[in-house]
Structure 1
């Protein structure tokens, strides 16, 4: 489409990026269209964002870094030859909300798959679950029993459901979460442990908290940590409102067999999740079928994998050609008034 790109991958994704570039070049991509660069992110951003030719930024990462990109572009706005377009996908604190009518077995499966697949290292991973008290005893038993069966190890062994987290930095972050949880009123029901002897492994962890303001329900950990909050069944509408008030709005799910409740949640959480799921885990969007992205503090919701994202990178031009151009500035009504 005429656009050229400077691609700066995360340091932990550099090998995958290099492989993708090799595949694209073998497929016929001309040199100079996509320019893969490595190095310190802040240093590269300083150079790229200061260039007067900058046309836009397509960012995936933390909210804090995207905020710094926006500030940097804003401070340079008088320097650019056109206004840069900014697209950001910054993750979220994704939720599963259950109603008393939910299928408990399906709910349990969604929590485990949504929270622990890929070690929870998805921006869409389920990390907070709101459960009515009437369902909690049965759901708690299902989750604790099933989590105990999850195998963690080398991903080349397909009998393992989970592998290691991405690096030591992530491992240490998750271990700090466990320490803080143990020091609070929260209860670690399963997991809460890590091992870095043969890799940076974190056990699939289930935590229960009774504090709606706890960091466990507000901060993104990007790991296999799921926190549950149990509410009175009569407080369903209040919990729905609290979820809607949260800043991260990437993915979310409602579990209920009552269509009226599903409709209520779909409406009440209209702006709480860019990708909303009904009786399914809030992960695994299919490219081409479920355009992906969220708003508020989860990004600009430009829907990767869709026409909406694609057209953000076009610059339309309207052309009009007159085949019989007028030769007198006077419109017919002007001539008529003069004659009268």
Structure 2
């Protein structure tokens, strides 16, 4: 490989296909949905490039038809986890020593494979296995995944360009080393792109990975893993380990070469991981990097000057797309009374008109939530609203899990800004509205800032620029991604780096160079071109 420097041009975000009637992509994905619906596959672990079948199995079902099995997957235990760590460490030196541009080329190839060859396969798997409609699958499993695979090499090129100043007789330079050990990637069910990025972002920077996918997303994640192998990721660099969390994490966190955690999931799980790591701190080769994006209780604030129709659209899309199963979903809204009087009837009417059902019927805007525990949790919050004397359900409120895990998009209106559904993360299609007097805007901003322990996303709707500036300043730490006259969801790689602080995570901004910086351990190298030969200094001389 040439020693020449390389700079990757700024990528373009992948075009979102429409899937409108008559388009070729609609025909192709429908054919793939039909194929996968009529096929049951067996999914192994992948350790050191080899398929491993443990005999301990779980099932992947369609959330909208939980009696329909899409796949049987094998589960890892402590023994297989140790095998995966060993395989990763065996692959480490060759991968770390590979020039960064060669590693980048592998992931750029993966982007092309996903864009052109495997788009409909992975979209269909995400739709059937994770309950997404075709548009939600397209913006996630296809476009966002492709964007990560293209933008991360560009961000890596920016990092590798920076060198320190060399002055006088010294020549200074940087070496961007990977971490000393392996990275544990723990991914969620709700975004195929996040799962892919949690494993590939550290790998791009020279790290080796033990990847535990969410059990309800194993189907799409397995296809991602096979795609990465086809793109040229060497054996052992990324090891695919479905299975029970404790069976895998206990072995990972007790290993001396555990060097980093790349996590998206619940705040409670991240807390437990952090505590476990702390208990093993004295045994690690290096201080581990813990990078996590966790929960959210994301807000929309409507000032009296808000545009009514834009607000309605943002509330419906922000709260109910993908059944509210986004950590960025709009789940609490503070709306000025004058605006609420204008929008309430129309918001309720439009919410009640939403079609819900099978992902294969493209007329359905809302589909099933991921599984029975999620269904039961969401319906539990709805029951609290039904039984409250300070809240009322004004839209939705029904659920049925007899065939699929369906929860109607639900709007709760409350007189108590601290009602439970205004404060706690629900992770379902439930929006709670608190109506405030127009004159109370400043107090409502502070109320919003102090109500939730989270700090992920939020938005302000106002045409009064001073009101926007007030919100911008008061809510400075309430959201790591802050939106003006837009829904609080839909961050795009390279455009809105994603992440929040407080109890929403470490805010390391996926989709930017900031995240990649966490996966390197830079070494500064100084070469003295003319070393001194006398230990004394001029100030030691006599007058």
Match of 2:419 in 1: 214
The match for 1:198 among 375, 391, 403 is: 403
Does 2:334 align with 1:130?
yes
How big is each residue's C-alpha offset from its partner over 1:120-151, in whole Å with a ceiling of 9 and x where there is no partner? 11010000000111111211112111012111
Counting only pairs closer than 5 Å after superposition, residues 135-146 of structure 1 correspond to structure 2 as: 135-146=339-350
Structure 1 distance, partners of 2:457, 2:206, is 33
1:315 match: secondary structure: strand
Which structure 2 residues correspond to residues 34-113 of structure 1 after superposition, within 5 A? 34-113=238-317
Q: Secondary structure at the match of 1:319?
A: strand
Structure 2 residue corresponding to 1:273, chosen from 479, 489, 492: 479
SS of match in other structure, 2:269: helix
Q: Is the partner of 1:134 in helix, strand or coil? A: helix
Q: How does 1:146-161 map to 2 (within 5 A)?
A: 146-161=350-365
Counterpart for residue 217 of structure 2? 13
The structural deviation recorded for 1:193 is 0.4
Counterpart of 1:288 in structure 2 is 494
C-alpha deviation, 1:332, in angstroms: 2.7
Aligned partner of 2:428 in structure 1 is 223
Aligned-partner Cα distance in 1 for 2:449–2:418: 14
Counterpart of 1:309? 515
Distance between the aligned counterparts of 1:232 and 1:43, measured in 2?
52
Match 1:188 to one of 388, 393, 417: 393
Deviation at 1:237, TM superposition (A): 0.8
Name the CA distance, whole Å, in 2 between partners of 1:237 and 1:247: 20
For residue 316 of structure 1, give the secondary structure of its aligned residue in structure 2. Answer: strand
**What stretches of structure 2 of length at least 5 have no aligned partner?**
1-204
SS at match of 1:6: strand
Q: What's the CA shift string for 1:166-216, capped at 9, x where partnerless?
A: 111111111111211111121000110012233111101011011122111
SS in 2 for 1:299: coil
* SS of 1:17 mapped into structure 2: helix
Structure 1 unmatched ranges of 5 or more: none
Distance 2:268 2:437 in 1: 35
Is the aligned partner of 1:264 residue 2:470?
A: yes
**Partners of 2:206 and 2:487 in 1: how far apart?**
38
Q: Does 1:330 align with 2:503?
A: no
How many Å separate the matches in 1 of 2:278 and 2:327? Answer: 26
Secondary structure of the residue aligned to 1:208 is strand
* 1:238 partnered with 2:443: yes
Q: Which has the higher helix share?
A: 2
| RMSD of aligned alpha carbons | 1.0
- 2: CA distance, partners of 1:188 / 1:119: 17
| Contact 1:105–1:142 under 8 Å retained in 2 | no
State the distance in 2 between where 1:242 and 1:74 align.
34
2:131 is matched with none
Would the aligned equivalents of 1:61 and 1:89 in 2 still touch at CA under 8 Å? yes
CA distance in 1, matches of 2:331, 2:313: 14
Whole-angstrom distance in 1 between the partners of 2:419 and 2:256: 44
CA distance, structure 1, for counterparts of residue 354 and residue 420 of structure 2: 26
Which segment drifts farther, 9-18 or 296-305? 9-18
- In structure 2, what is the Cα distance between the partners aligned to 1:322 and 1:93? 54
> Shift of the alpha carbon at 1:13?
1.2
Q: What is the TM-score normalised by the length of structure 2?
A: 0.61
Report how far residue 31 of structure 1 moved.
Answer: 1.1
- Supply the distance in 1 between the matched residues of 2:485 and 2:517 (Cα, whole angstroms): 32
CA contact (8 A) 1:250 1:273 kept: yes
Distance, in Å, in 1 between the alignment partners of 2:321 and 2:515 is 27
